């Protein structure tokens, strides 16, 4: 059983496998190599991928997009608060965890982000299973380099809910570097800059490739910068324009905003190839049509600061890697937004006219690298992978709070992982009986500007003057970037192992098991639905075939008009029944078919070719 690599993107996902010495990107049932990371609930079924995306303009309350933005975050996270304003669906606050209510088959359901991501992952799993013809459970899932600990863990949980065994996680830019470097492992040492600008996140990574070792030198980026921000700038611009023209505010109308956003995204893509794009929406708001256009130059002006920010991040990453521009051999573009000409131009200028690498498909590089990593990890002889090693880094500094407000760093940003470091702390007042350690992530000196990950307490400290007790706090980051923290009181040998608690956006073990069971139920519901609709289609085809056959006067020489209309009437009766019984069990469709068959047989057997027709219809089943 091969292990697959999944790029679980904010906007699009992609799955790949390493087989017989090469990576294959796996197309989905529609033949697309990218599947929109989108789930939609309708009155009849659950849709995933492109079919779900099509629902967005009409059924936006139940069409969930960009769920990766929510994963591992708390409800009060400023990112969640900002994003909520833009989405057509609602976010609820459940003990500071975001939850999404939807109406599915006339029933209200509430989902955690992990469950929705799990549905996308399951779709990718199914895509791979159809293609490879066997069950797949082992997978490597990619995450943005900038994902924090809670986001990584939540992604892993989503994998679990989807029925996957997550054998590893790999940072997206590192995976892209593997895609680039896999067949360059024999060449001399080279430094590559990976520039990944997708729908919602931006990652820059400097990787040194030396023989079979991929060593990340530095990483930087922004968890809130990507294609959607460019779309939103355009939306804001048109909202203003609409206000000026008609003196009404479209931004209060969720449906209108959503329709406008879909059009803006399309216009943006058009602007990557032409210098002008039209935006036209009938009856956008209060019956008023909207007609406008956007030039490439204006689009670039609207986004100038965001575009410039990407270049500043590149400069920072080089500084962190202690490298000059000239030491970069190749610039690898990843993500749909790197198709924007201005972005390419700014990058080329920054690197003094250097050509950007064009051999790698920006949409597929991440899944490609993930599949290679999966083969590497699973040691599958048949995959014939040339072994390689990944040395990644921690994207953010990690530490604990001291003196009630200061950050004491235990793991510095850009430290190579896996990594383990222990630091010693003490009490601040005499006879302190317990000490609380708050774990933070971030680069600022004051903890109030960093992100609180979790906290733990060591109690039962023996009475002693301040500064005498000793506590060893150990931060241990594994190769997937997941942090384990432990604290130990030297005097009492008392240990505390930190488990990132559920109120920081994590799900508890019990909740995950419940969701695994729930996902299985949906899987069987989906299978049942598919089975029913197949049986329904079969009955419908069967009925129409008989009806068309008997309605043709050429076939009816040997029977009376009465016999003919009896069969036609019966067919019409069955078709009417199908219309009124769309959600009936497979069994009922099958028995209706038998009913029709025995009803028609006496008449059809009088006609030459009549029984042949029934036989050929049976064979089609
Ligand atoms: P993610 O990694 O976030 O899933 P992708 O790498 O698939 O995202 O990129 C999706 C983003 O790329 C979207 O915002 C989309 O609008 C944008 N995009 C796709 N094609 C183009 C294009 N030709 N020009 C500009 N932007 C594009
Ligand atoms: Mg991506």
Q: What are the domain boundaries of the chain? A: 4-225+306-392, 227-305, 394-507, 511-620
Task: Judge if the beta carbon of residue 198 lies within 6 A of ligand 1.
Answer: yes
pLDDT of residue 517: 81
Cα angle value 480/311/302 (rounded, 5°) = 115
The closest of 369, 333, 390 to 217, measured between CA atoms, is 390
Those residues with Cβ within 8 angstroms of residue 77's Cβ, 6 or more apart along the chain or in another chain: 505
pLDDT of residue 236: 96
Measured from the CA of 197, which atom of ligand 1 is nearest?
A: 6
- Catalytic residue IDs: 7, 68, 172, 196
How close is the Cα of 389 to the center of ligand 2, in Å? 22
The closest of 259, 264, 179, 195 to 229, measured between CA atoms, is 264
Q: Which of 337, 345, 370 to mutate to test the pocket of ligand 1 (most atoms within 8 A of CB)?
A: 337
How close is the Cα of 169 to the center of ligand 2, in Å? 14
| Answer CATH for 227-305 from 3.90.930.12, 3.40.50.1820, 3.90.640.10, 3.40.50.300 | 3.90.640.10
For ligand 2, a single-atom ion, the residues with CB < 5 A are 9, 198
Would you call 72 helix, strand, or coil by DSSP? coil
Task: Judge if the beta carbon of residue 142 lies within 6 A of ligand 1.
Answer: no
**For residue 357, what is the DSSP state?**
B
pLDDT of residue 499: 56
pLDDT of residue 404: 84
How close is the Cα of 318 to the center of ligand 1, in Å? 25
CA nearest ligand 1 atom 10, residue = 199
From the first residue on, what is the mean pLDDT of each consecutive set of 10 residues in the chain (621 residues)? 95 95 94 97 91 88 94 90 88 93 90 96 97 97 88 94 95 93 84 94 92 90 90 96 95 88 95 96 93 97 97 94 94 96 96 90 96 90 79 88 89 89 91 92 84 87 91 90 89 76 58 79 78 87 91 85 92 92 86 93 87 83 59
> Would the CATH topology of 4-225+306-392 be identical to that of 227-305?
no
Distances (CA, A) of 307 to 173, 225, 334: 19, 9, 15
CA nearest ligand 1 atom 24, residue = 269
How close is the Cα of 144 to the center of ligand 2, in Å? 8
As given in the structure block, the two tokens for residue 49 are: 């991928």
pLDDT of residue 489: 93
Task: Judge if the beta carbon of residue 303 lies within 6 A of ligand 1.
Answer: no
| Chain-centroid distance, C-alpha 345 | 29
- Summarize the chain as % helix, strand, coil (round to 5): 45, 25, 30
As given in the structure block, the two tokens for residue 424 are: 């010693």
pLDDT of residue 422: 95
CA distance 183 to 53: 36
The closest of 328, 11, 244, 44 to 144, measured between CA atoms, is 11
The closest of 385, 407, 508, 484 to 452, measured between CA atoms, is 407
How close is the Cα of 486 to the center of ligand 1, in Å? 40
CA distance 513 to 350: 50
As given in the structure block, the two tokens for residue 354 are: 């250097």
Measured from the CA of 9, which atom of ligand 1 is nearest?
A: 4
What sign results for the dihedral spanned by CA atoms 546, 551, 555, 556?
Answer: positive
Instruction: Give the number of whichever ligand sits closest to the CA of residue 175.
Output: 2
Measured from the CA of 272, which atom of ligand 1 is nearest?
A: 24
CA distance 360 to 364: 8
pLDDT of residue 43: 86
Instruction: Give the number of whichever ligand sits closest to the CA of residue 272.
Output: 1
**Which residues, listed in sequence order, are joined to residue 94 by a DSSP beta bridge?**
97
Architecture of domain 4-225+306-392: 2-Layer Sandwich (3.30)
pTM of the model: 0.81
pLDDT of residue 505: 54
CA distance 10 to 38: 9
What sign results for the dihedral spanned by CA atoms 475, 414, 37, 61?
Answer: positive
Those residues with Cβ within 8 angstroms of residue 467's Cβ, 6 or more apart along the chain or in another chain: 426, 427
Domain 511-620 = CATH 3.40.640.10 = no
Domain 394-507 = CATH 3.40.309.10 = no
Task: Judge if the beta carbon of residue 174 lies within 6 A of ligand 1.
Answer: no
How close is the Cα of 200 to the center of ligand 1, in Å? 9
Q: Which of 66, 144, 232, 336 to mutate to test the pocket of ligand 1 (most atoms within 8 A of CB)?
A: 336
* Tokens 């204006």, residue located: 298
CA distance 246 to 394: 51
Task: Judge if the beta carbon of residue 268 lies within 6 A of ligand 1.
Answer: yes
Task: Judge if the beta carbon of residue 270 lies within 6 A of ligand 1.
Answer: no
How close is the Cα of 366 to the center of ligand 2, in Å? 7
CA distance 242 to 333: 36
Instruction: Give the number of whichever ligand sits closest to the CA of residue 10.
Output: 1
**For residue 460, what is the DSSP state?**
-
């Amino acid at each position: 059983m091969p292990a697959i690599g999944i790029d679980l993107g904010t906007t699009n996902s992609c799955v790949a496998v390493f087989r017989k010495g090469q990576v294959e990107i796996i197309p989905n049932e529609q033949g697309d190599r990218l599947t929109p990371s989108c789930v939609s609930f309708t009155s009849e079924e659950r849709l995933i991928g492109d079919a779900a995306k099509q629902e967005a303009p009409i059924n936006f309350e139940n069409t969930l997009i960009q769920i990766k933005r929510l994963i591992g975050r708390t409800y009060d996270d400023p990112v969640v608060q900002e994003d909520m304003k833009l989405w057509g669906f609602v976010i609820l606050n459940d003990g500071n965890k975001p939850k999404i209510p939807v109406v599915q088959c006339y029933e209200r359901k509430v989902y955690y982000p992990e469950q929705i991501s799990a549905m996308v992952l399951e779709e990718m799993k199914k895509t791979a299973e159809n293609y490879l013809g066997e069950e797949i459970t082992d997978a490597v899932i990619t995450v943005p380099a900038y994902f924090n600990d809670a986001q990584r863990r939540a992604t892993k949980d989503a994998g679990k809910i989807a029925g996957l065994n997550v054998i590893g996680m790999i940072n997206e830019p590192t995976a892209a570097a593997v895609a680039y470097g896999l067949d360059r492992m024999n060449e001399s040492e080279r430094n590559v800059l990976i520039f990944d600008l997708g729908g919602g996140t931006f990652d820059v990574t400097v990787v040194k490739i030396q023989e079979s070792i991929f060593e990340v030198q530095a990483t930087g980026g922004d968890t809130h910068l990507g294609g959607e921000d460019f779309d939103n700038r355009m939306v804001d611009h048109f909202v203003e324009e609409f206000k000026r023209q008609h003196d009404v505010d479209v931004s209060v109308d969720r449906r209108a905003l959503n329709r406008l956003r879909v059009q803006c995204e399309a216009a943006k893509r058009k602007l990557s190839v032409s210098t002008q794009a039209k935006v036209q929406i009938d009856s956008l708001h209060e019956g008023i049509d909207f007609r406008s256009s956007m030039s490439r130059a204006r689009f670039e002006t609207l986004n100038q600061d965001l575009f410039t920010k990407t270049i500043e991040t590149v400069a920072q990453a080089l500084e962190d890697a202690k490298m000059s521009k000239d030491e970069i051999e190749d610039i690898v573009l990843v993500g749909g937004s790197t198709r924007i000409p201005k972005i390419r131009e700014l990058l080329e200028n920054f690197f003094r006219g250097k050509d950007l690498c064009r051999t790698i498909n920006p949409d597929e590089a991440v899944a490609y690298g993930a599949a290679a990593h999966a083969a590497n990890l699973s040691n599958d002889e048949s995959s014939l992978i040339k072994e390689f090693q990944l040395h990644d880094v921690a994207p953010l500094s990690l530490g604990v709070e001291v003196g009630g407000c200061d950050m004491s760093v235990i793991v510095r940003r850009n430290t190579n992982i896996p990594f383990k470091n222990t630091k010693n702390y003490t009490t601040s007042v005499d006879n302190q009986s317990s000490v609380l350690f708050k774990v933070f992530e971030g680069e600022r000196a004051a903890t109030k500007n960093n992100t609180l990950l979790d906290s733990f307490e060591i109690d039962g400290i023996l009475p002693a003057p301040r500064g005498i007790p000793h506590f060893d706090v150990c931060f241990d980051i594994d190769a997937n970037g997941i942090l384990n923290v432990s604290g130990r009181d030297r005097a009492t040998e008392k240990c505390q192992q930190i488990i990132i608690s559920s109120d920081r956006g994590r799900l508890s073990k019990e909740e995950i098991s419940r969701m695994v069971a729930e996902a299985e139920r949906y899987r069987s519901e989906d299978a049942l639905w598919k089975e029913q609709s197949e049986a329904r289609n079969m009955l419908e085809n069967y009925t129409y075939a008989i009806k068309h056959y008997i309605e043709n006067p050429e076939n009816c020489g040997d029977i009376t008009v009465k016999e003919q209309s009896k069969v036609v009437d019966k067919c019409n009766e069955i078709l009417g029944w199908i219309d009124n019984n769309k959600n009936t069990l497979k069994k009922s469709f099958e028995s209706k078919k038998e009913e029709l068959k025995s009803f028609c047989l006496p008449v059809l057997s009088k006609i030459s070719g009549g029984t042949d027709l029934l036989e050929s219809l049976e064979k089609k089943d």
